[in-house]
Amino acid sequence: MSGLEPRARTGKWRALIEQLEALGFQPSRGRGQNFLFDDAMLDAIANDARLDGQMRVLEIGPGCGILTERLVARAPQVLAVELDPRLAGLTRRRLSGAANLELIEGDALDGKHALHPQVVRWTAEPAPWSLVANLPYSVGTPILVACSRLEHPPQSMTVLLQAELVERIVAQPSGDAWGAVSAKLQLLYEAERVRRVGPQMFWPRPKVDSAVARLVLRPNRPDAARVAEFDALVTHLFAQRRKTLRSRLADLLSDRDAVQELCASLALDGGRRPEQLSVPELAALSTAVGRMRG
């Protein structure tokens, strides 16, 4: 343990690491297994979620259950999904007295763009829910997008992620960080960066900074068909984000005259690049393209 941060060498954190080592567990960089070992920051994240005592919670990647224990104290029902069976077993033992905790042992993602079937069934219930998690960095983007595209999406998502990804989530048009993920999430959610989290608070220590993002569902969201149109167009446009809007639409519609008429009808300059378009502009464009394509 000589390479551990001082906070991880003593007290309950050291005891927790010793339990993990006894299980033969070593954190995997590929799975993004970096555990937040800071009580004040864990409390802050749980508070950032603004749970009202009635909101159900989904936690993906609970690890040792150290954020989970704060969530079960604040929510009537917590569903946690943990890929590693050793971590799942440890969390079950540590929180055996939490009757409001259900733990799924498996991958939260069912393929690249879908969630675990049990998660989908749980989110289909009428009671509102929130996502609160220290997400593995490697799957942060697909999990957030997949959750946002559910029939009953989360009312809010409070997530600890790599700081670079948080910058993309909260980015604005024309900035270097603005991209398809920014647009897809901001179509449905108000997004903000809540706080930065330094690498010294984790075990093992990551090589990058982290941050907490909070996303709140907009009250008037498009229906599923409009969202699908939006996603398809944004994916196409940002595949070559430096090309002009006129060029990317011509590739899609194969009719330059139709593209010119389309841009004129929406008062859009076809010489702009996709990365310069706002969410409302992209939404209006996707609806118009959908009508043209029937």
CATH code of the domain covering residue 267: 1.10.8.100
> How many CA atoms does the CB half-sphere of 9 hold within 13 Å?
7
Q: Is pLDDT at 7 greater than 60 in this prediction?
A: no
Q: Tell me which H or E stretch contains 80.
A: strand 78-82
Residue 1 lies in a domain: no
Are residues 75 and 203 both part of a single domain?
yes
User: What pLDDT, in 10s, does the model give residues 112-155?
Assistant: 889 999 999 999 998 999 999 999 888 999 999 999 999 999 99
Write the CA distances from 132 to 157, 213, 291, integer angstroms: 6, 10, 37
Q: Tell me, what's the pLDDT at 3?
A: 45
Residues 195 and 267 in one domain: no
Please check whether residues 66 and 191 belong to one and the same domain.
yes
The last residue of one of the domains, among 217, 232, 262, is 217
Considering 217, 235, 254, which residue would you say is the last residue of a domain?
217
* Residues 206, 249 within the same domain: no
Same domain for 99 and 169? yes
The model's pTM: 0.93
Q: Are residues 183 and 38 in the same domain?
A: yes
d(CA 266, CA 274): 15
Whether residue 137 is found in the same domain as residue 169: yes
Sign (positive/negative) of CA torsion 216, 219, 222, 223? positive
The pLDDT, as a whole number, for residue 136 is 84
* CA 110 – CA 96 distance, rounded (Å): 27
Residue 94 in any domain: the answer is yes
Mean pLDDT, to the nearest integer, of 146-166?
Answer: 97
pLDDT band at residue 1 using 50, 70 and 90 as cut-offs: very low
| Mean pLDDT across the chain | 93
Pseudo-torsion of CA 108, 106, 49, 43, nearest 10°? Answer: -140
Predicted confidence band at 10 (pLDDT cuts at 50, 70, 90)? Answer: low
213, 235: one domain: no
Q: Which domain holds residue 82?
A: 6-217
Final residue in a domain of this structure, among 200, 217, 234:
217
CA dist., res. 64 & res. 82, Å (int)? 10
Write out the H or E segment, with its range, that includes residue 14.
helix 11-22
Give the per-residue pLDDT at 76: 97
| pLDDT tens digit sequence for 229-252 | 999 999 999 999 889 999 999 999
Q: How many domains does the chain have?
A: 2
